[in-house]
Chain A
């Protein structure tokens, strides 16, 4: 058990102007699950790209020894040939092909140039059984959920006789059930002798599954620790280089009058006819209040929020919305914005930002009319407004003319928040505002949320991270299978209590 399968020594990698990796050392023991933790930009992904040959030998300094031999990979094919397979955060599957075709993509089971479909599908079924994926191998990948797609990726890796499996944020997009299944699977693979390297922001998972943990910070190895007896706070302090006594900034809630109420809200699926996604949901928000909305993936949280936000999602929407006691109708996003409602999406790259444009044009996108007179935009004023947010929200960029696509996740999220704060909303719906953001930036986002509440805005916070809801919210609703299943003040809420309500009534789903 104690011999090492992988040793990376003195790895340095420089991009023009940036030293991404600086003398990094990593030793992975045969048959262990080794976690790598670090803030975004700490160099985790770069290190894995060096290991898997994305950056070929000669592009970096240092040496890699795998399975007793020094490696000089010229590309991914070389590293895969040696049994090193990397599964990226964004899955690389061809969604219009079948499971079996994906598993053997680039490695087709052919006889004399023609694909042997029986052999392909039979071999795929065997691999799918090993990863616990109960589907027909000819099913198209686009019909699978993210969790099952992840399993297809792992089956694909197994088909390549993998010795070292690298997973980059494998559970970021998974719900708790799928995550648990995946982690079980990794334990099973470890018992079969496959070594795993896992990159994750979810520290509870890391502690749950890893045998050892290596912490990176600013492109340097900080330490490698045994997971036995390790605590989240110990990892966090290694990652950020300081003790985080308080992961959540303190706040004195000053809760005012009711500002927003939704009653009997129902939403149908736009793609599957007649399927009810949200059913009779209702909630209230008060000025200066942070209200949490807890629910598993697929519970209908985003569908509820987006349908309220000017019917941006769903069909067959019914229900009533009250703002300051008056019933209002929100038939378009523009009407919602005009009524002081803002919705910051859970997927900032896909739905939140124009990544090819700069910061200032993204900040002004939803409130452009405030900067315009008779249809003409004052771009100096736009610059000033954006620069104000850059300073007050601490967006780390050389100037507001920097392209948003090149910013880190935390800074992109601050741009999204700036955009919505600029519309001067009374009600802010924040959907997973800290997803994929490192610990330091999360704290900043929390501070911003608190500040907005202190200004008298009502916040509806949707989050998959229960500690986050418990740390920030004054009140928490639980949503399960499209229904509100509970409401708790913070003082009474516990993770276990919330989880019970979040899983309540799952079987009743139509």
Chain B
């Protein structure tokens, strides 16, 4: 979790130049808390359910389940956070998941299209759906709330038109493997003492991932130091890296002891990495924040704001199609009612993960964490046998509390000026 890019300059500021701009120590701590609060909350929730379930929460099979069961929501959350950063919303993703799942099923089941081609066509159709909505939002100027509310109905109607009232399946094995399957035991098992046997390949992937995190973070820090920027103190930096490494290795070891790495985890890791770099470092990513932060200022700085918004919706459509394929593949059939209310989970994930309603703020890793918080609550409460109305109650309370905390810290920061 602590691989999240941190704004080190708030933790260690240079001595202030003028009293007006002085950042008092307490506020520095609050800003820090506002950024890391979500990760602390996540750790607390995991800890709570681990205790309540007597350790079942972190059992190998359960960790694997949490990842596979929430994969499509997490994929949607990645697209949604970009939409929300740009100051818009997408209520139609649940319907797009259903519609694209139906398209994929018709292609593969009814028409025997080879699965790679079918996936490609489905993703393109997702992109076209996104382009349709992006056109109305960006170029026609209809609020995204309305366009995507209409889309929610339109694409559900499309789904029913394609499928009628039946579920359509089964999917080819390759698609089911992507949704539900695990990496094979390429290198055999190794013994881990008291923990029993574990898959060597999975463990090596984990070691490489941790080494990658350490290298990237270290090089980024070294770059900042070389440019004379303020960085967080070395002990804090090392602590964060160690925590990140331990968490990643723990999850990997548990997975290696069960059925190896879920393919969706590999896919998700790639998406999170790619979109994190996109939002932090790409010109396009920066423009998303600029558009959401101040539309007029972005326009007058030469940003093609309409094009940016359009492509964000195209991207959302493609990711929704990907989620649609994985969701349908997991159930092994496309269902006309599938994906119902997924949009609400994806939006909740983004806001729990620290996005601002006004736009301009948010992080991919935050949205993923927000989605995992919801997933862990779902999973943990079902493990302790809580009825579904209690699950809804807790999820609603967590969403409200997360945004209330964000508003509160913002107000505190504002009032102390």
- Listed in ascending order, the chain A residues whose CB lies under 8 Å from chain B are 15-19, 41, 309-310, 312, 332-334, 336-337, 343, 345, 350-357, 361, 364-366, 368-369, 372, 375-377, 379-381, 383-384, 387, 396-399, 401-402, 406-408, 411, 419
Contacts and interface: CB of A to CB of B under 8 A. Distances in A.
Contacts of B227: 380-381, 383-384
Contacts of A368: 283, 286-287
Interface in B4-30: 7, 9-10, 13-27
A41 B301 contact: no
Contacts of B296: 350-351
Interface in B109-137: none
Interface residues of B, number: 50
19 contacts: A15-B416, A15-B417, A337-B302, A351-B294, A354-B294, A356-B293, A357-B293, A365-B301, A369-B283, A376-B281, A377-B286, A381-B227, A383-B224, A396-B18, A398-B22, A399-B9, A399-B230, A401-B7, A407-B21
A377 B302 contact: no
A398 B13 contact: yes
Contact of B20 (A333, A354, A396): A396
Given A356-B361, A401-B10, 20 more contacts: A16-B416, A17-B22, A18-B22, A310-B302, A332-B304, A333-B301, A354-B293, A355-B293, A357-B290, A357-B293, A361-B289, A365-B303, A376-B283, A379-B281, A387-B228, A396-B20, A397-B17, A398-B15, A399-B14, A401-B9
Contacts of B19: 17-19
Interface of B: 7, 9-10, 13-27, 223-224, 226-230, 280-284, 286-287, 289-290, 293-294, 296-304, 356, 360-361, 416-417
Contacts of A343: 300
A362 B134 CA distance: 26
Given A333-B302, A356-B361, A419-B301, A18 B20 contact: yes
A380 B229 contact: yes
A355 B294 contact: yes
Nearest to A366: B301
A351 B300 contact: yes
B119 to A, nearest CB: 26
Contacts of A19: 19
A315 B303 CA distance: 20
Contacts of B20: 18, 41, 396, 408
Contact of B229 (A15, A345, A351, A383): A383
Nearest to A378: B281
B9 A312 contact: no
B354 to A, nearest CB: 13
Nearest to B284: A375
B293 A16 contact: no
B301 A380 contact: no
Contacts of B417: 15, 406
Interface centre among A41, A334, A345, A401 (most CB of B within 10 A): A401
